Amino acid sequence: MTATFRRRRTPETPPTRLRLKDLFAEALAGLIQRPTRSILTMLGTVLGVGAFVTVLGLTTTASGQISKSFDLLRDTTVTITATPPADSPTTSGRMVFPSDTDERLLHLNGVVAGGVWWSVPLRNPTLSRTPDYTKALPHDGAVNIYAASPGTLQAMQTTMLTGTLYNDFHQDHAEHVCVLGAAAARLLGIARVDNQPAVFINDTAYTVVGIISDSQQLAQTLTGVLIPSSTALREYGPPADPPAQGLIQTRVGAAQLIAEQAPLALRPDQPQLLTAVPPPDPHTLRDQVGTDMSSLFLILAVLCLAVGAIGIANTTLVAVMERTAEIGLRRALGARPRHIAAQFLTESTALGLLGGLVGTSIGVLVVIIAALMESWTAVLQPVSVIPAPAIGALVGLLAGLYPALRAARIEPLDALRR
């Protein structure tokens, strides 16, 4: 009788698995064990992400404010230059700008004020507040004489210190009146106009009707004497070099159209003699400013992120070296290399994510505070704020790759011998 023996099957050992719950618990335990080190490691990511959010937020906020200010002032100014033909016997601005320039410009829909002005072509004029020319100011460029129509004074958006501007009556009758800039008035010793002071240009007296304290356009006139353009043409002749120029103040949004219409309105017979220069596109200026600001500071943000990545990588690598025995014990108990790698990757990613969240919060707070201090409207684009924590997490993930791979390659026997 033959006995048969059957081999008893031993149950197979189930594969080791690492659940997400256990993975996150182990990673959190690893971070909490050394809280000071974890916080210091996050600082690089905090600075990088915070700088990233701050730069984009401040750039967007400043660009919006620049565009707003630009619309209120620069986008309402059109300048016109006289360009006589090359074969012309004279470069006179009189042959280009008509005598009724102010009136023609006002007929254009969208024009608030406009006129013509130039520097009076006088060589070594004497300028004094009295007929006694031994006390005259030396003509060293400190005080210049400008011819300007009444529409030009309006388009300059002046602020009066005292008195008033000369008007169409003075222009039509070529009166000997003038308006002083604040600096010129100080040099001439004139502080009030109620006593009808006079300024003598050569041997001609000009009654001072007003003193300008500030001007949004043609700031050089604050150091000069302005006389009606009709008076300047009669007394001193047409402008020489540089030729006459036009200044137009428009309503918001009308500058481009007025720049196209003004030459034809002033010289319908030869519009090519005038060149109108509209303001640059405010959107182009805003984009250029935003690009210039972003380029520099984004480089700094990237450098901060790089420093943060190096810090996370260095700290994670040190943690791997310090926990070699722990890694060996886990491997001996059945942990697989990918489990070890996943644990350290999770720790580094968590550090990056926490740093990104803190950096994003700080960046948003900085933008809001800066906007409040400047009385601006804070502008934060969601596309620059929402992904910021994810950028921190990505930095942490990439920084932990090498330490995690090195930890996964540790052999249990070698680790336990140490």
pLDDT of residue 60: 73
Q: How far apart are CA 48 and CA 311, in angstroms?
A: 12
Who's near 256: CB < 8 A, 6+ residues apart? 278
Distance separating alpha carbons of residues 139 and 227, to the nearest angstrom = 17
- Using alpha carbons, select from 119, 319, 324 the residue that is nearest to residue 224: 119
pLDDT at 206: 94
pLDDT of residue 213: 93
Distance CA 182, CA 263 (A): 33
Q: Tell me if 367 sits within 8 A of 380, measured CB to CB.
A: yes
Q: From CA 337, how far away is CA 330, in angstroms rounded?
A: 10
Which of 166, 155, 154, 212 is CA-nearest to residue 185? 212
Q: What is the pLDDT, as a whole number, of residue 330?
A: 75
Contact present, 231 and 174 (Cβ < 8 Å): yes
CB 77 within 8 A of CB 248: yes
| Omega prior to 239 cis, within 30 of 0 | no
Q: Say which DSSP state 61 is in.
A: H
Beta bridge partners of 158: 215
CB 45 within 8 A of CB 392: yes
What's the rounded Cα separation, in Å, for the pair 166 and 208? 9
Give the count of beta carbons closer than 10 Å to the beta carbon of residue 110: 17
List CB contacts of 221: < 8 A, sequence separation 6 or more.
146, 148, 156, 181, 212, 215
User: What pLDDT, on a 0 to 100 scale, did the predictor assign at position 43?
Assistant: 76
What pLDDT shows up at residue 68? 57
Which tokens go with 291? Answer: 């690009």
- pLDDT tens, the chain, 418 aa long: 455 555 555 555 556 666 667 667 776 776 677 777 777 777 777 877 887 788 778 777 776 665 555 555 557 889 998 876 655 544 444 468 998 999 999 999 999 999 999 998 776 666 776 665 555 555 555 678 999 999 999 999 999 999 999 999 999 999 999 999 998 898 888 988 988 899 988 888 999 999 999 998 888 889 889 999 999 999 988 887 778 899 999 988 788 889 999 999 999 988 888 988 887 655 555 555 556 556 666 676 677 677 767 777 777 777 777 777 777 777 777 778 888 888 888 888 888 888 889 988 988 898 889 888 877 778 787 877 888 888 888 888 888 888 888 878 877 776 666 6
Question: What integer pLDDT is reported at residue 227 of this predicted model?
Answer: 95
